[in-house]
Amino acid sequence: MQSKMKKNIIFLRLFPNEDVNIQLKNACKINNVKTAIIISGIGQLKNVKLGYFKEKGNYAEEIFKTPLEILSLNGNICRANEGYITHIHAILGDENKNALGGHFLEGIVSVTAEIVLLKAGINVERKDDSQTGLKMLYFK
Amino acid sequence: MQSKMKKNIIFLRLFPNEDVNIQLKNACKINNVKTAIIISGIGQLKNVKLGYFKEKGNYAEEIFKTPLEILSLNGNICRANEGYITHIHAILGDENKNALGGHFLEGIVSVTAEIVLLKAGINVERKDDSQTGLKMLYFK
Amino acid sequence: MQSKMKKNIIFLRLFPNEDVNIQLKNACKINNVKTAIIISGIGQLKNVKLGYFKEKGNYAEEIFKTPLEILSLNGNICRANEGYITHIHAILGDENKNALGGHFLEGIVSVTAEIVLLKAGINVERKDDSQTGLKMLYFK
């Protein structure tokens, strides 16, 4: 992964076999991010794991092994005690141009990925929510 | 809805049963927005109404009652006489990871929504277009 | 096409029968862009050509003649010797609210398009990659 920051824009280029979540957290660490917003994401991934939230403790997960184009990445990355927490939703495209998507749990770069983050000076934290089992976002 | 602004970035957190359009307009009012660009939007909605523009006076509308993940929100919000006008397109994901989308007419938060706006100093207005029946965007 | 820039935000309004790639490059030229990130894109297009990268020299292309809503445009535009190179992925929606998408090769405005670019001070270049046949992004 290579990243370059200018003002509050961080541009990332990922390489084959890199893990998207790990590299996003690395880029945030390198560039001293508190909270970052994903403002752009394209490329192609393999072994993508997506989720759909049903109810507490019930996340419908699915793995897509075939390479899929990244059509959109949306979400944010915020600092937590142990490093960073990502909350990302992805839309992917197959060879027939069908779009699929969900809560992005995992994905490995197959060809390339070009992702752009916007550094936000807004401090947020995620707290466990007993009703949903999710880590809900709050402003500090 | 809670919102926090720093420089030109406005971060919104929406809560269950809140109406997305109403809360986006509220956030714009609170933060004195002229024109805002949606740069990120994730979460989960229910009772989503989507449209597809066919021709003048013919908007194919559909309502999705089941909760759907917000995979992407794209569009802008601009000041108008009576408050604000939103022009938003949404992409949503179901339990099977299928993606669907259209012109976003309405939607209620089911679990949470994390939306980020970029305040733009660009003044725009929307004027009725007799040929399409749409409110077309112009720069002031 | 009309465009208006304020600070590092460029707002574009496209008109019927305009070519998206040509107008994006025009807007970059007019506003003296080195590198721009697409942060928002909505509207409706016709004659859209989408691709899916399979392997070197094998790009599965498909043309969609029917008007489709632009649900999302993601990607970047960077200066090259001969002008600008765009790398864009698009998600489109049909009348039944199905979402489809891929590498955006071409598209003509059918009704309108509202696209927003973020000017980034980051210099990038694209170099031919012999293994994939793609123009890969590097930071200067």
Q: Using one digit for the tens of pLDDT, what is the confidence trace for B10-20?
A: 999 999 999 99
Predicted pLDDT at C86:
97
How many contiguous H segments (helices) and E segments (strands) does chain B have? 1, 9
Note whether A39 contacts C118, CB cutoff 8 Å: yes
Q: Is the dihedral of CA C2, B123, A37, B47 positive or negative?
A: negative
Amino acid letter, residue B13: R
Note whether A52 contacts B114, CB cutoff 8 Å: no
Q: Does B119 touch chain A (CB under 8 A)?
A: no
Q: Using one digit for the tens of pLDDT, what is the confidence trace for C29-51?
A: 999 999 999 999 999 999 999 99
Average pLDDT, chain C: 96
- Dump the DSSP string for B79-100: EETTEEEEEEEEEEE-TT-BEE
Q: Does A105 touch chain B (CB under 8 A)?
A: no
**Helix runs in chain B, H state only:** 20-30
Amino acid letter, residue A34: K
Which residues 24-83 on chain A approach chain B with CB closer than 8 angstroms? 35, 37-39, 50, 52-54, 60, 62, 72, 74-76
> Tell me, what's the ipTM?
0.97
Quick check: helix, strand or coil at residue C30?
helix
Question: Does pLDDT of B1 surpass 80?
Answer: yes
The two structure tokens encoding residue A99: 């779009």
The two structure tokens encoding residue C18: 């305009």
Percent pLDDT > 90 in chain C is 92
Where does the pLDDT of residue A22 fall: very low under 50, low under 70, confident under 90, or very high at 90 and above?
Answer: very high
User: How many angstroms separate the CA of residue C72 from the nearest CA in chain B?
Assistant: 6
Note whether B94 contacts A39, CB cutoff 8 Å: no
> What's the Cα-to-Cα distance from B44 to each of A8, A48, A52, B72, rounded to whole Å?
28, 20, 9, 11
Predicted pLDDT at B59:
85
* pTM of the shown model: 0.97
Nearest Cβ partner for B89 among C2, C7, C70: C70
What does the alpha-carbon distance between residue A18 and residue C7 come to, in Å, rounded to a whole number?
A: 35
Predicted pLDDT at C56:
81
Predicted pLDDT at B39:
98
What does the alpha-carbon distance between residue B60 and residue C7 come to, in Å, rounded to a whole number?
A: 38
- Nearest chain C residue to A38 by CA distance is C39
Contacts of C38 in chain A (CB under 8 A): 40
A90 within 8 A of B42, measured Cβ to Cβ: no
Question: Does pLDDT of B55 surpass 90?
Answer: no
Contacts of C9 in chain B (CB under 8 A): 37, 118, 120-122
Q: Please compute the mean of the pLDDT values over residues C64-82 and round it to a whole number.
A: 95
User: How many angstroms separate the CA of residue B11 from the nearest CA in chain A?
Assistant: 8
Predicted pLDDT at A11:
98
Percent pLDDT > 70 in chain A is 100
Question: Does pLDDT of A57 surpass 80?
Answer: no
Q: Using one digit for the tens of pLDDT, what is the confidence trace for A125-137?
A: 999 999 899 999 9
Q: Please compute the mean of the pLDDT values over residues A9-27 and round it to a whole number.
A: 98
Question: Does pLDDT of C111 surpass 90?
Answer: yes
C101 within 8 A of A71, measured Cβ to Cβ: yes
A67 within 8 A of A13, measured Cβ to Cβ: no
- Nearest chain B residue to C8 by CA distance is B120
What does the alpha-carbon distance between residue B132 and residue B137 come to, in Å, rounded to a whole number?
A: 13
* A15-24, C50-59, C73-82: which is most confident: A15-24
Q: Using one digit for the tens of pLDDT, what is the confidence trace for B102-137?
A: 999 999 999 999 999 999 999 999 999 998 999 999
- Nearest chain C residue to B63 by CA distance is C97
Least confident stretch, B50-59, B110-119, C68-77 = B50-59
Nearest Cβ partner for A122 among B6, B71, B93: B6
Q: Please compute the mean of the pLDDT values over residues C58-70 and round it to a whole number.
A: 95
| The Cα angle at residue B106 between residues B101 and B111, in degrees rounded to 5 | 85
What does the alpha-carbon distance between residue A130 and residue C106 come to, in Å, rounded to a whole number?
A: 48
Percent pLDDT > 70 in chain B is 99
Q: Using one digit for the tens of pLDDT, what is the confidence trace for A88-122?
A: 999 999 999 999 999 999 999 999 999 999 999 99
Where does the pLDDT of residue A56 fall: very low under 50, low under 70, confident under 90, or very high at 90 and above?
Answer: confident
**Contact partners, residue C28, CB within 8 Å, separation at least 6:** C36, C77, C79, C84, C117
Predicted pLDDT at A59:
85
> How many C-beta atoms lie closer than 10 Å to residue A29's C-beta?
12
Nearest Cβ partner for A101 among B6, B7, B99: B99
Question: Does pLDDT of A81 surpass 90?
Answer: no
Question: Does pLDDT of C57 surpass 80?
Answer: no
Predicted pLDDT at C55:
84
